[in-house]
Amino acid sequence: MSEVSQGEATQTPDARDRALLAAHVAGDSQAFGALVALHQDRLWAVALRTLGDRDEAADAVQDALLSAYRAAGGFRGEAKVTTWLHRIVVNACLDRVRRRQARPTVPLPDTHSGGEPTEPRDLVGEREIALEVEAALTALAYDQRVAILLVDIHGMSVEDAAAVLEVPSGTIKSRCSRGRARLAVSLGHLRNRPDGAPVPPVTGPRRQTGGRL
């Protein structure tokens, strides 16, 4: 157990994170792992939603955490530790987006040879909707997609998202506004489904967590 863990109960989350990062820099061999354990699910979710591919997301998180491990001594405390970590993950994802040669495809649900779904009809319908939402997010310009992911899906404030992406708050607001407008057009048909089934909100498709670190 990390040396700083005994005081965690009385610390704010950011103070706890700063203490763990400082302990890592000072040579505590377990501190960075403890920090990662606190935030790995959210970092994984950001990478997965940004890249749309589990393997690429896992690799991006691996790269980002390695960078954070090595760069911890340069953390100046001007932002929250979580903001710093998210920035590194987003940059790792951006590097992969720039290197892509082709866009990813969205898989369709498995079916029997006769064309019947392998799952109950309502579950298949929900999956199809989720895939449409994922595809619509992927079709957004990268800067709009990341802004919406951070603010609308992962609940960051505009100010924190601006710190992650190193742009003014007004830029985040503009990117979110343009992205939401595009999503409203591309997913508008889901608002009036004939069967009356509920539609997942445009700004919050179901979160997927987990992955290898």
Q: What is the CATH number of the domain that holds 183?
A: 1.10.10.10
> Is a pLDDT exceeding 90 seen at residue 33?
yes
51 within some domain: yes
How wide is the angle at C-alpha 206 spanned by C-alphas 200 and 208, nearest 5°? 165
Same domain, 94 and 23: yes
Confidence of residue 124 (pLDDT cuts 50, 70, 90): low
Same domain, 187 and 137: yes
2 within some domain: no
Please name which of 132, 125, 149, 147 lies closest in space to residue 186, comparing C-alpha atoms: 132
**Which of 60-74, 75-89, 99-113, 125-139 has the weakest average pLDDT?**
99-113
Assessment of whether the complete model's pTM goes beyond 0.85: no
For 72, the domain range is 11-101
How wide is the angle at C-alpha 39 spanned by C-alphas 36 and 42, nearest 5°? 135
Total domains present in the chain:
2
Q: CA-to-CA distance for 93 and 87, rounded, in angstroms? A: 10
Same domain, 138 and 85: no
Q: Are the beta carbons of 183 and 136 closer than 8 angstroms? A: yes
Q: Which residue has the higher pLDDT, 29 or 95?
A: 29
> Is a pLDDT exceeding 50 seen at residue 212?
no
205 three-class SS: coil
107 within some domain: no
**Domain stops at, among 70, 101, 132:** 101
The average confidence (pLDDT) of the chain is 79
Confidence of residue 43 (pLDDT cuts 50, 70, 90): very high
**pLDDT number for residue 111:** 41
**Which of 29-43, 56-70, 136-150 has the weakest average pLDDT?**
136-150
111 within some domain: no
User: Residue 64, by phi and psi: left (phi above 0), alpha (psi -120 to 50) or beta?
Assistant: alpha
